[in-house]
Chain A
Amino acid sequence: MNEQDRDQLLTSAMDEYGHYLIRLAYAFVKDVSRAEDIVQEVFIRYYINLDSFEGRSSVKTYLYRITVNECHNYFKSWSYRKTELSSLVGSLLVAKQTPEEEFLKTESSKYVAQLVGELPLKYKEVLWLHYYAELSVNEIGEVLKCSANTVKTRLARGRKMARLTISEEEIEHAREH
């Protein structure tokens, strides 16, 4: 593959998936600079591996898989642990909200995202991949390297933990796709 074709494929991939990937990465790492670094690394790895990319998985699942893996790697890093420590110290200094404020918060549209954001990573990532990136159960299985059944269980548990109410038809939709 010549450089021009390679550049074209990378540009197309960035146009199609760049916006979603950087926002997904931010949702996990909560740091704009880190999200930019992660997405840059994802696309560079895609570019370098274009020759060996045999199309066994779609470009979409491939890019999401590397993004999720890069986020996992970040969580294992000292850089993240340092940030976590700062947040912990920060949260201890912030006064608790009053019940009224808590109630108002539940009425806010941000509350759904907050509940999802507070879930353990394995539930948070399936909810984001399913509802935000609109990946099917099978695609999420490819991204996370786990079975469709595991994805379904995590979706079900994640929904319950985040108190998301989904109609039966939508559950069926998730089961079938």
Chain B
Amino acid sequence: MPENIKRHLDESVPSQLTLSEVKKRKILNEANQRMDGRNFSSPRLFKPFAIGVAILGLSAFLSFPYIQDWSEESAFQPALKEPNNEKIKKVTITGVEYPSLINATYIADTEEMIVTDHDGIYSYSVESETKRVIVEPKDNAEIFELAVNGEWLVWEDVSTSKLYILNRISNERKEFSNTLMTYDFQLDGDTLTYASIGDRDSFMGYKKLDLSSWKETEIHELTGEGANSRSAIHDGLLVIPERIKVNDKSSVAFFLYDLKKQIQVGEYVVPYEVANNVTITNNKIFAQLYNEGEASRLAYINLEDSQLHEVNVPAFDAYAVYEDFVALSLSRNDSNTVKLFQIEENSVVALPTFNQIKERLVKPRFTENGTLVVNGEGEQHSMYLQDVNHLE
């Protein structure tokens, strides 16, 4: 079949179209000239002035409705049209309570926001600004734990003691009886990981479920004294934090697993009592670390040298990190708001991304591909999306 598809695709292109020897020589000449510093412009790039004027006129005509929209919206979101903010998307979902919005998950690939009101699960298309029901609401449902990506939705309904897994592409749905306590669902492609706590005799720890084969594997047995953070998953790596006692002093251990090989590939102990918001990105395990009564710090274990490195950041309440971008919730007057920074040599450089947004921003989180999501606390409870890969 792939050969057939390739043939069908190839047949859709004019058969004579190829990079001819004449064209190759032309490219080589042009490359030589460009390399020599000569600036030749392609004749095709030259447009007669009249065409330019015509296009400008046409564009002004076609853009009139958008200009009109802009002037109507500008009263509510003036910052969005500032040059610095042109890539920020403002998402306003009406009819959804703020506690649900604050836990909304954004899927960049399908440009949708997934929210639950604990009765059902809903998708809001950022593109078409439409809502649709994914899981029909029930009056007595208790949905508190879910994980979602473009292909899968996993949720637990405590009221039915069932775990549900929906393939969002085929719409095939599976149900599993779930009398154990399960939590911390994480999805990475077709892999689901979750923690499971049962009775004294059953396995207590993290399991992996391969959603393409439905094969379940025990990954990590919990032996510590709990954790302040959920696990983190990224590109086939799972990191599980646990508070442990070392010489009668509390520390945090990070257990790192390669999910494909199903083996532990690292264990790192840091001399702090608490690790919040553990995140794995760019071959680093980040966490907000602190001891009770002390200020917190942002630090990471570099998986290349296994060392703990501290990032020099202003005092912060919450953070989110993706590669070398970090969003920090910083004090502002008697409150706080989110600012975006770039990490450079274990220090940070402020970016102007959210400077024009006046409402308080909270709950920064990144998607797996680098879209930062923050909730606004303005009247509309809008959310703001910024793909940091597109920052100039």
Contact = CB atoms under 8 A, between A and B. Distances in A.
Co-complex (A, B): yes
Interface of A: 3, 6-7, 10-11, 14-15, 18-19, 21-23, 26-27, 32-33, 35-37, 39-40, 43-44, 47-48, 78, 81-82, 85, 109-114, 116-117, 122, 127-128, 131-132, 134, 145-150, 152-154, 156-157, 160, 164-167, 170, 175
Given A10-B27, A48-B34, A85-B58, 19 more contacts: A3-B35, A19-B18, A19-B19, A22-B18, A23-B13, A27-B9, A35-B17, A39-B19, A44-B30, A112-B5, A131-B5, A149-B149, A150-B369, A153-B150, A154-B150, A157-B110, A157-B150, A164-B1, A166-B1
Interface in B31-59: 31-32, 34-35, 42, 44-45, 55, 58-59
Contacts of B2: 131, 166, 170
A146 B23 CA distance: 32
B138 interface: no
B46 to A, nearest CB: 12
B169 A36 contact: no
B14 interface: yes
Contact of B9 (A47, A112, A149, A156): A112
A154 to B, nearest CB: 7
Contact of A82 (B8, B44, B55, B150): B55
B141 to A, nearest CB: 27
Contacts, number: 140
A7 B28 contact: yes
Contacts of A40: 23, 26-27, 30, 42
A40 B43 CA distance: 13
Contacts of A114: 12
A124 B27 CA distance: 28
Contacts of B44: 33, 37
B294 interface: no
20 contacts: A6-B35, A10-B27, A21-B19, A23-B13, A26-B17, A37-B45, A44-B31, A81-B59, A111-B8, A131-B2, A147-B235, A147-B368, A148-B189, A149-B149, A150-B109, A160-B170, A165-B1, A166-B1, A170-B2, A175-B212
Contact of A157 (B32, B59, B169, B389): B169
Contact of A117 (B12, B58, B170, B389): B12
B18 A23 contact: yes
A164 B5 contact: yes
Contact of B35 (A32, A48, A167): A48
B10 interface: yes
Contacts of A175: 190, 212
Given A22-B19, A37-B42, A152 B189 contact: yes
A147 B30 contact: no
- How many B residues touch the partner, as a band? 35 or more
Given A150-B369, A153-B109, A47 B31 contact: yes
B241 to A, nearest CB: 23
A84 B227 CA distance: 55
Contacts of B9: 27, 112-113, 116, 127-128, 131-132
For the complex of A and B, the 10 pairs showing the least CB-CB separation, nearest first, are: A18-B19, A113-B12, A149-B189, A153-B150, A112-B8, A47-B31, A131-B5, A23-B13, A132-B9, A44-B31
A109 B7 contact: yes
A8 to B, nearest CB: 10
Interface of B: 1-2, 4-14, 17-19, 23-24, 26-28, 30-32, 34-35, 42, 44-45, 55, 58-59, 62, 109-110, 149-151, 169-170, 188-190, 212, 235, 368-369, 389
Contacts of B23: 36, 40
A135 B55 CA distance: 38
A17 B175 CA distance: 48
Contacts of B32: 3, 7
Contacts of A36: 23
B303 to A, nearest CB: 18
Given A47-B31, A117-B12, A23 B17 contact: yes
Contacts of A82: 55, 58
B59 A78 contact: yes
A145 B389 CA distance: 9
A56 B278 CA distance: 29
A21 B24 CA distance: 13
